[in-house]
Structure 1
Amino acid sequence: MRFLERLAASEFAVALEITPPQRHLPKVLLRRARLLGDAADAVNVIQRPDRQSSLEASLELLAAGIDPVWHLAARGETRESVAAAAARARDGGIVQVLCVAGDHAPAGEGPSLTVREAIAAVRAAHPGMTIGATLNQYARDPAAARRNLLPKLRAGASYVQTQPTFDVGALERELAAVRAQAPVAAAIAMAMPLLTAEAGERISRRLGLELPPRLRDVLAAGDEEAAWAYFAGTLARLRESPAFQGVAIMTFEMDPLPAAGARIVQALEAAGIR
């Protein structure tokens, strides 16, 4: 069953987030996209300036029978370029996009679209597209982050995807505050297995967050089995909570080994998701 079909059927959906290779390397792209096998209903394809474009990779995945989520980065884009990309996605059969700010545009580029403007341009060019927007639950000013999200929902985004969560209760409270201001059809929580203290420190610095004390203790002890159990527990909390309709799995490694994929699938099964 495809990702959007699960959401429509009120079944918990699972996506895998991947980074495409630096150039057109179909075997590498498919290896990353198939990390979870049939346990993933869709594959989110990150957009980065030094990589194969998300749209190109998404079209390749769709041709291979994999349900893609195209990531559209607004920075450096114009209404015309977004409309052209959305038309190409429409003609290629892509039905889901996550609109993000993206990396900074190269020096000398003209003004960029805002994410709200990019969403509106996609909606105009591809009315049947399901559009997502992101929520940073770790923003220094949560109220400002919510205010930033609302115009994206009004412009046509129908679901919200979060940053990686390690504290489901805190994310539930933040989503309740969002839904008090605007209806959100679906909330997709990102989840990420952290297995080492170094990985925990790097994620903490990158996202500007404080990991829960219990997770910090697990990582400090170097107990990998306990770390996997914590991840499975996070997935179970997400599955049980009415606040979430799905999860997007992100891995710490860009090109994880098959054994890591197998452990993630085991964690999904332990959480009652598959």
Structure 2
Amino acid sequence: MIVSITGATGFIGRRLVQKLAEGDHEVRVLTRSKENAKLLFPVEKFPKITIAGEFEWKDCIQGSTAVVNLAGMPISTRWSSEVKKEIKDSRTRVTSKVVDLINGTSYDTRPSVLISATAIGYYGTSETKVFDERSPSGNDYLSEVCRVWEAKALGVDKDVRLALIRIGVVLGKEGGALAKMIPFFMMFAGGPLGSGNQWFSWIHLDDLVNLILEALKNPSYKGVINGTAPNPVKLTEMCEKLGEVTGRPSWLPVPDFALKAMLGEGATIVLDGQKVLPLKAQELGFSFKYPYVRDALKAIISL
């Protein structure tokens, strides 16, 4: 395959590029910072990678087998009105551009598939409801971001297969929520964040990347697919398991006010949760390497 990727320098994108390169596929990294991308993907280690600045995106997308759109500013940060605007704009701007470039290519040179990231924030939060791909959208800020983001991707021409992957909390060592939680545990201060009763819908980084790879190759993967593991847990259990695998106690809770002081409104992504199930992936026969959170954490911590 020839795969063009936005957000390739991010936490998920880096692993995806690595896996595609290992599979001998050609990767085109669509970036706004060629310098940064060249540092992450040095030519001697990644000889089959093309690094393209924004003015080169069109040429890269033309002739690609597929496009994977992962771009977007990280949301686990302190939200100001400017940051909230950039969280939304960074997703919609790039998705619009990618869709316009695909639609603007001739039928014989255009990609046949677009995998576009979105998030389980689409569903809103709840301690009692269970969400799957058929569930309606919520009514908070992140739900709105996801609706607008997905609407941009849905503008792609109908002859291009579209898979919208609503991604949960991605667990890996080099980034995401876990990278922020591990230092708490190593300082003997790990514990539930807030009440601990909120649902934590997670997925191991390798399972998410394998889900994307499967969606690239398998024509049955289309429409909305939840990128979460089949066994979400309450945050209390997540913290207990993290305590077990790091050999640290996990009884000392991190109070709501401490998180709010650190993340402001952005604390809602850990203080409020949702139980999201990957029904579509399971119906399609996708095999999760890490269906249980303890195994996922054990694999990550032992790296």
Please give the TM-score of this superposition, normalised by the length of structure 2: 0.35
Bigger Rg, which one: 2
